[in-house]
Amino acid sequence: MLTKRLIACFDIIGGRVTKAVKFQDNIDVAPAGELADTMYKEQIDELIFYDITASSEKRGIDIETVKSVAKRVFIPFTVGGGIKSLDDMYEALKAGAEKISVDSMAVRNPQIITEGSKAFGAQCVVLSTQVKRVGASPKIPSGFEVFIDGARVATGMDAIEWIRRGQDLGAGEICVNSIDNDGTLAGYDLELMKLAEAAVSVPLIASGGAGAPEHLKALFTETEAQAAIISSMLYSPRMPKNYTVRELKTCLADSGVNVREPLD
Amino acid sequence: MAAIKIIDYKAGNAPSVMHAAGRLGCQADFARCAEDLAGASHIILPGVGSAGATMKSLGELGIINTLEDIVVSQKSALFLGICVGMQILFEHSEEEDAACLGWLKGRVVRFDSSKIRVPQMGWNRVRFRDSGLGTVREDCFYFVNSYHAVPGDSNDTWGTADYGAAFTAAVNRGNIYATQFHVEKSGEAGLRLFKRFLDMRA
């Protein structure tokens, strides 16, 4: 059986990993390459890198960081931020990334999902979306709205509609980020994930809110999410306690969740 | 002396395979034309994307006849296909109705997305029969695939995993090895398997 994945997500500024709360107030954690090494040794299942200032600084993705990580980390990793074209995608894939994450840019230009999917395969294109509870309305029937540009800009788009469309456009995986829960350590937005799982048949990643092993257990036993983004729990200096990947996996395995056991 | 060649074509992830070989302390070279394959002891065909696109890329490199001569006729090199590099060894892929190399009997079909989420994405447990690489222990390896091979000869199945139902996760016939999972992205389990392949002599 396919195991549930734990993904460490790095918000990168200038080659260093940072940690935000509700997409703001990023504090410095560690150099990206160093933390990637640590996570690899701990046998994390997957890594995601967001070059979070690439778009606002109007530059391409930090390809040197991607290359340096690809040489020492032999697990899949996804990159996002600053991807604007097929050429950008090709460059990131050639640098060693498995998957490309598109977010705000895909809202502005949905065709990039289709183009990327056709050129490199659907499995290479992850649609990541920032979602906020706004209450149900005729325009936002699910009550969840898509935001872009670091959760600052409302789009008026229904989040569940958008991920369904993202799948139809060719996304091979969808990452659902809860803006409300991000950095709160209060657990994933399970209601949001249940709406998402009913809307699409591609794999789903849950993001935002993990603060304790029980949150992972709840996600994997109560929803069909196949992967969970954890970052605070692993390395945030704001946390009273950080967990190792092994501790989290042991806890999940004890709860009957199918995970990849770390090798000795 | 091993001469390891990694076939580099447009949609492939040859650099990742090269990094993995480097980590294992093995010198390898990219092969981008038929001449580059001369004297190879090990040939690796990485793959991402679709079977049809991969066949087209290999055709454009002008590499297929030489590859068949070395691997299938002379059997002078060990071959490892990865992901789509495994799928194109069969006769036909459902994906874009693509004719493939036909080194192995059988076809490549899509997972049934009415039962499971497609693509399969993540770490799945693979169990192996014994092969020229000896006994490979059951372990988790990283998969990203919407299609999987159905060998015409069940003896060719080397590794089996479950996704909705049991499927062929790896194949072996003589000097030909191939994995649907990514050995170069399967952590230490993948590197161990890759090292066994690179350490073997034809």
SS (H, E, C) A206-261: EECCCCCHHHHHHHHHHCCCCEEEECHHHHCCCCCCCCCHHHHHHHHHHCCCCECC
- Average pLDDT over all residues of chain B: 95
Judged by CB atoms within 8 Å, which residues 112-131 of B form the interface with A? Answer: 113, 117-125
From the list A47, A45, A43, A4, the residue with the least C-alpha distance to A225 is A4
Q: Do A74 and B113 touch (CB under 8 A)?
A: no
Percent of chain B whose pLDDT exceeds 90: 89
Return the CA Rg of chain B.
15
Mean pLDDT of B107-126: 95
Q: Tokens 């183009």: give the residue.
A: A115
**CB contacts, 8 Å: B52 with chain A:** none
CB proximity B200 to A under 8 Å: no
Chain B: give the shortest CA distance to residue A62, in Å: 18
Q: Do B119 and A124 touch (CB under 8 A)?
A: no
Q: Is the pLDDT of residue B143 over 90?
A: yes
Chain A: give the shortest CA distance to residue B202, in Å: 27
Helices (H), chain A: 32-41, 63-70, 86-94, 104-108, 111-120, 159-169, 190-199, 213-222, 232-235, 245-254
Mean pLDDT of B59-69: 96
Name the β-bridge partners of A46.
Answer: A7
pLDDT on residue A201: 95
Q: Is the pLDDT of residue B180 over 90?
A: yes
A138-142, B14-18, B179-183, B188-192, range with the lowest pLDDT: B14-18
Q: Which residue of A has its CA nearest to B16?
A: A96
Judged by CB atoms within 8 Å, which residues 13-32 of B form the interface with A? Answer: 13, 15-16, 19-20, 22-23
A86: confidence class by pLDDT, cuts 50, 70, 90: very high
CB burial of B36-64 (b: ≥16 within 10 Å; e: otherwise) equals bbeebbbbbbbbbbbbbbbbebbeebebe
A22: confidence class by pLDDT, cuts 50, 70, 90: low
Rounded distance, CA B10 to CA B65, Å? 19
Residues in A whose CB is inside 8 Å of some CB of B read 1-5, 40, 43, 45, 70-72, 74-76, 93-96, 98, 119-124, 172-173, 201-204, 224, 226-227, 260-261, 263
Rounded distance, CA A206 to CA A175, Å? 6
Q: Is the pLDDT of residue B11 over 70?
A: no
Model's pTM, two decimal places?
Answer: 0.94
Query: Which of B15, B118, B163 has its CB closest to that of A96?
Result: B15
Q: Is the pLDDT of residue A190 over 70?
A: yes
Question: With the C-alpha atoms ordered A212, A217, A223, A225, is the resulting torsion angle positive or negative?
Answer: positive
Q: Which residue of B has its CA nearest to A70?
A: B16
Rounded distance, CA A12 to CA A136, Å? 34
Identify residue B140 by its one-letter amino acid code: C
Q: Do B187 and A98 touch (CB under 8 A)?
A: no
Identify residue B50 by its one-letter amino acid code: S
Q: Tokens 């590099």: give the residue.
A: B85
**CB contacts, 8 Å: B185 with chain A:** 74-76, 98
Q: Tokens 């390395």: give the residue.
A: A235
Mean pLDDT of A22-30: 78
Rounded distance, CA B109 to CA B127, Å? 21
Q: Is A127 exposed, middle or buried (0-12, 13-18, 19+ CB in 10 A)?
A: buried
Mean pLDDT of B121-131: 97
Mean pLDDT of A147-169: 96
pLDDT on residue B177: 98
CB B31 within 8 A of CB B6: yes
Q: Is A30 exposed, middle or buried (0-12, 13-18, 19+ CB in 10 A)?
A: middle
Mean pLDDT of A111-130: 93
Mean pLDDT of A102-127: 93
Q: Is the pLDDT of residue A254 over 70?
A: yes
Chain A: give the shortest CA distance to residue B74, in Å: 33
Bond before B119 cis per omega within 30 degrees: yes
Q: Which of B6, B115, B116, B123 to mutate to test the interface with A (most CBs of A within 10 A)?
A: B123
Question: What 3-state class would DSSP assign to A86?
Answer: helix
Rounded distance, CA B163 to CA B117, Å? 9
CB B184 within 8 A of CB B13: yes
The model's pLDDT over A201-241, given as tens digits with 9 standing for 90+, comes to 999 999 999 999 999 999 999 999 999 999 889 988 888 88
Q: Name residues whose C-beta falls within 8 Å of residue A132's C-beta, 6 or more positions apart in sequence.
A: A144, A145, A147, A151, A154, A178, A179, A180
Chain A: give the shortest CA distance to residue B26, in Å: 14
Q: First CA to last CA across chain B, in angstroms?
A: 11
Chain B: give the shortest CA distance to residue A118, in Å: 9
**CB contacts, 8 Å: B50 with chain A:** 121
Rounded distance, CA A44 to CA A26, Å? 23
pLDDT on residue B74: 97
Angle between helices A159-169 and A111-120 (to 10 degrees): 40
Q: Which of A1, A115, A123, A258 to mutate to test the interface with B (most CBs of B within 10 A)?
A: A123
Q: How far is CA B115 from the centre of its chain?
A: 26
Q: Do B13 and A226 touch (CB under 8 A)?
A: no
Rounded distance, CA A243 to CA A213, Å? 9
Rounded distance, CA A168 to CA B163, Å? 23
pLDDT on residue A209: 93
Q: Is the pLDDT of residue A195 over 80?
A: yes
**Which residues of B are designated catalytic?**
83, 182, 184
Q: Do B186 and A96 touch (CB under 8 A)?
A: no
